[in-house]
Structure 1
Amino acid sequence: MTRFDATENRISLTHKRFPAYPREPAMLVRLMKAISQHVHDSANVLLREYGLNHTDYNVLMMLYGCEQQGMTVTQLRDAAAEKSANVTRVCNILCERGWIARFADPQDRRRVLVSLTTEGEKLVEQFLPSMASLLNQYGAAFDAQEIAVLETLLKRLLGVAEQIERNL
């Protein structure tokens, strides 16, 4: 029995009481939410040692994986899947700590770009082994083929979610 069993029972009861309520899609959405929360909480435990949280990690990792000179806050928001206000707040904190820097875009001086500093890169490389281990633990639930199928399916669902959001 898992902590999710009660949620599954509630979804099933809702479907029974209101048959038009789509049990399977509701289960998928709730499962993704529950998994996301577990990943978030586990990452926070590991990142606490570095004075970071999962949102900080997402911002730092998007910048670490950036091939170009930097990213705008809007690009960073989209890449990290965070709200604009939250990314701005996190960037302010990470800037104060010396892990990221803001600068004018050389191609368009009106735009501000954000990038990792040398200290920020060193920080990321300190916590990457712990985070890689955590991610590998999640990935161990599946073989390589299952991971590839699940990635394809989740990307398809993400595309649907983005389309729904655009249409609202």
Structure 2
Amino acid sequence: MDKPLPAAGGYASIDQKLAISSARHPGFPRDQAMLARLIKLVHKLFCDHGNQLMRDYGISHPEYNVLMMLDGSEHGLSPSEISEAASEKSSNVTRLIDQLLAKGLVSREPSAEDRRKLVVRLSPAGEQLIEQVMPAVIQQLQRFFSGVEPEELRHTETVLTRILMGLEQQP
């Protein structure tokens, strides 16, 4: 189902450019820069492959992410909670919710606790789509990580969590 996608220059291109920058700028943190660039490249490729997979189901990868955040919620989410959980800008979340509403995959209604707030929930069609998509998503993720040992995954999660905590503490 997935065709190989170009790696946007890939590792070798990044490594070559960072070697030049390191030579030009003493003290340049090459290892940190390489990790930041690799994270960006991995994110791009995850999104590209995700969009390619989701196209078969009539949604985009960002729409899928919103649906999955709602799937992981007991009682629905506010648009701001979706924005935070899906790592999307609030303006983009509004657009994504509107698209999902138009496709009949979510509902949006006032909160029972506070009528000024909106709650977005999966519709039955949204729940059905997630059930349809899940086997392909599981298979895709297993392929992505097939060369990585479980202990390496746990270690990578720990390291990325520490990096995220450092980023979140920045002003």
How many Å apart are 1:62 and its aligned residue?
0.4
Alignment match of 2:57 (pick from 50, 53, 63): 50
Does residue 78 of the first structure (1) align with residue 90 of the second (2)? Answer: no
Residue 159 of structure 2 aligns to a residue whose secondary structure is helix
How many Å apart are 1:92 and its aligned residue?
0.3
Q: TM-score, normalised by structure 1?
A: 0.93
More helix by share: 1
- Tell me, in whole angstroms, the C-alpha distance in 1 between the residues paired with 2:10 and 2:42: 12
Dislocated runs of 4+, deviation >3 Å: none
Alignment match of 2:136 (pick from 109, 130, 136): 130
Q: TM-score, normalised by structure 2?
A: 0.92
Percent identity between the aligned chains? 36
Partner of 2:113: 107
Partner of 2:38: 31
Partner of 1:94: 100
- Structure 1: segments with no counterpart, 5+ residues: none
- Structure 2: segments with no counterpart, 5+ residues: 1-8
Query: Match for 1:102: what amino acid?
Result: R
How many residues in Structure 1 have an aligned counterpart in Structure 2?
163
Question: How big is the alpha-carbon RMSD for the aligned residues of Structure 1 and Structure 2?
Answer: 1.1
